[in-house]
């Protein structure tokens, strides 16, 4: 048995050493530094408190008692608070007839608000930008949103511009990976990544429960980031990108269809979230982390994992201690179930999950921009110290799991988008929020016998 174990472990050990050696030299040749990032914060008249949410729900004449009860349970247990931001056309009651102007106005507000602040904060001129990547999943106008940014800021004719559509909630990491690859052939470059979403025109107006769910979770938000591979600017950096691993299960029909945009039987377009989502998310995450683990975990943890996996038909990342190589976990705030599921898989503590839970509570699921609200929470709470490593975990339609690891290059304590609310967090608000308190009567069978629904 001992000789058998050695036969298994020696090749694996050699492979791990080779990977570490290869990564060491690759990272020396291809640096990617984060100079600054700016998250979007909506105006006060865009907040979706309990009363606003109730008005929007009651405007949908396709809903009946069964759907009302489903929405009551979903919203009250969603982990989302009273201060998230909604699209302007939905707030104003125009979700039944969204226009192209509604979509452009919503995205413009997010993109230009964050970019203006980014340029002002860093002192970088738009004319200095060499690479521009804009990602938005549910909106693809002509000209592209990338062209819209170039036109607004009068950027150079030789700028390398890319527009990513349909990449889901993990598109930010896709965009980061694209920039990192471009940095191999563009030296001393400055790159912008803009992660946004168009929620207003895609507000679901039907009655299918699996599609109503997206209305409960998704909110307006986004982020703009400034990156460079110029070593002369690394003293201004806040983070350094160490690793990116992307996993795509689109070849599997179940994974492909578990999170998909389509029309219901009445012709209403929406985003379908099926019961298979959790299983495929777990599978994609596990596959991704198996590739990532030799790059971030110390040798002793890898050897422990190898020995404990001997004799098993199928290895699992559940036995790994990622905290041996990672200090902070920046989890996509896609929903309470997503955060709790990842936390359980990686055996994370409430302290580890707090940033994602609080970002979901304060800002909701802001699609590809969500990771940066979580990062902002960590920074505002002064958790991020020089040398710390941050694992960003993102999941998205396709089905995809895209993860990356950052190294903190100096102590961070910017209050950023959390400036006005960080003192109120972590919130102790339980799952029975004010929505349940005000509308719990929907579950009262006797009372509901006197109420008529459309």
User: Hey, which residues are catalytic here?
Assistant: 169, 248, 328, 332, 361, 365
CA distance 434 to 404: 37
Tell me how far apart the alpha carbons of residues 365 and 137 are, in angstroms, rounded to a whole number.
Answer: 14
Q: What torsion do the CA atoms of 78, 399, 371, 233 make, to the nearest 10 degrees?
A: 180
- Whether the CB-CB separation of 372 and 37 falls below 8 Å is answered with yes
> What's the 3-state SS for 104-140?
HHHHHHHHHHHHHHHHHHHCCCHHHCCEEEEEECCCC
Closest C-alpha to 79, from 337, 264, 307, 295: 337
DSSP 129-198: --EEEEEESS---SS-HHHHHHHHHT--TT-EEEEEES-GGGHHHHHHHHHHHHTTTSTT-EEEEEE---
Which residue from 161, 194, 243, 205 is spatially nearest to 367, judged by alpha carbons? 194
Taking alpha carbons only, the member of 119, 85, 104 closest to residue 363 is: 85
**If DSSP codes are grouped into helix, strand and coil, which group holds residue 240?**
strand
Q: Are 422 and 41 in contact (CB under 8 A)?
A: no
Compute the distance between CA of residue 168 and CA of residue 162 in angstroms, rounded to an integer.
16
Task: Write out the two tokens for 387.
Answer: 């040398």
Residue whose entry in the numeric block shows the structure tokens 């009445």: 266
What is the DSSP track for 357-422? HHHHHHH-B-GGGHHHHHHHHHHHTT---TT-EEEEEEEETTTEEEEEEEEE-S-----GGGTTTG
Contacts of 279 (CB under 8 A, 6+ apart): 258
Separation of alpha carbons 212 and 205, rounded Å: 8
Q: Is the peptide bond before 426 cis (omega within 30 degrees of 0)?
A: yes
Query: Would you give the end-to-end CA distance of the chain in angstroms?
Result: 71
């Amino acid at each position: 048995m001992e000789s058998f174990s050695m036969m298994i472990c020696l090749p694996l050990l050699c492979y791990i050493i080779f990977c570490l050696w290869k990564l060491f030299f690759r990272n020396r040749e291809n640096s990617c530094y984060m100079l600054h990032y700016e998250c979007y914060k909506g105006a006060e008249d865009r907040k979706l408190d309990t009363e606003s949410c109730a008005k929007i729900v009651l405007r949908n004449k396709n809903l009946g008692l069964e759907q009302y009860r489903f929405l009551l349970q979903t919203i009250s247990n969603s982990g989302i608070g009273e201060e998230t931001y909604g699209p302007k056309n939905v707030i104003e009651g125009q979700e039944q007839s969204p226009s192209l102007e509604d979509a452009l106005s919503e995205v413009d507000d997010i993109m230009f608000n964050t970019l203006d602040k980014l340029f002002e904060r860093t002192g970088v001129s738009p004319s200095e930008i060499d690479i521009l990547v804009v990602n938005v999943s549910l909106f693809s106008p002509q000209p592209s949103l990338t062209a819209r940014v170039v036109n607004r800021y009068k950027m150079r004719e030789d700028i390398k511009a890319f527009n990513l559509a349909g990449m889901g909630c993990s598109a930010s990491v896709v965009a980061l990976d694209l920039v990192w690859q471009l940095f191999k052939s563009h030296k001393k470059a400055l790159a912008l990544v803009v992660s946004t979403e168009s929620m207003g025109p895609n507000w679901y107006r039907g009655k299918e429960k699996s599609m109503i769910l997206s209305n409960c979770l998704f909110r307006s938000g986004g982020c703009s980031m400034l990156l460079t591979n110029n070593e002369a600017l690394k003293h201004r950096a806040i983070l350094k990108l160490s690793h990116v691993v992307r996993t795509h299960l689109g070849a599997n029909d179940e994974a492909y269809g578990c999170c998909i945009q389509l029309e219901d039987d009445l012709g209403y377009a929406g985003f379908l979230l099926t019961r298979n989502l959790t299983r495929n998310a777990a599978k994609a995450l596990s596959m991704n982390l198996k590739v990532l683990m030799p790059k971030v975990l110390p040798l002793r943890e890898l050897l422990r994992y190898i020995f404990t996996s001997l004799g098993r038909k199928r290895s699992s990342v559940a036995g790994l201690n990622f905290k041996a190589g990672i200090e902070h976990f920046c989890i996509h705030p896609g929903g309470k179930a997503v955060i709790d599921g990842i936390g359980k898989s990686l055996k994370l503590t409430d302290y580890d999950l707090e940033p994602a839970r609080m970002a979901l509570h304060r800002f909701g699921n802001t699609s590809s921009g969500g990771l940066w609200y979580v990062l902002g929470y960590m920074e505002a709470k002064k958790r991020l110290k020089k040398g710390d490593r941050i694992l960003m975990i993102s999941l998205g339609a396709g089905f995809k799991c895209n993860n990356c690891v950052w190294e903190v290059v100096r102590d961070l304590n910017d209050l950023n988008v959390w400036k006005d609310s960080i003192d109120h967090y972590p919130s102790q608000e339980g799952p029975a929020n004010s929505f349940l308190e005000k509308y719990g009567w929907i579950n009262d069978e006797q009372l509901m016998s006197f109420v008529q629904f459309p």
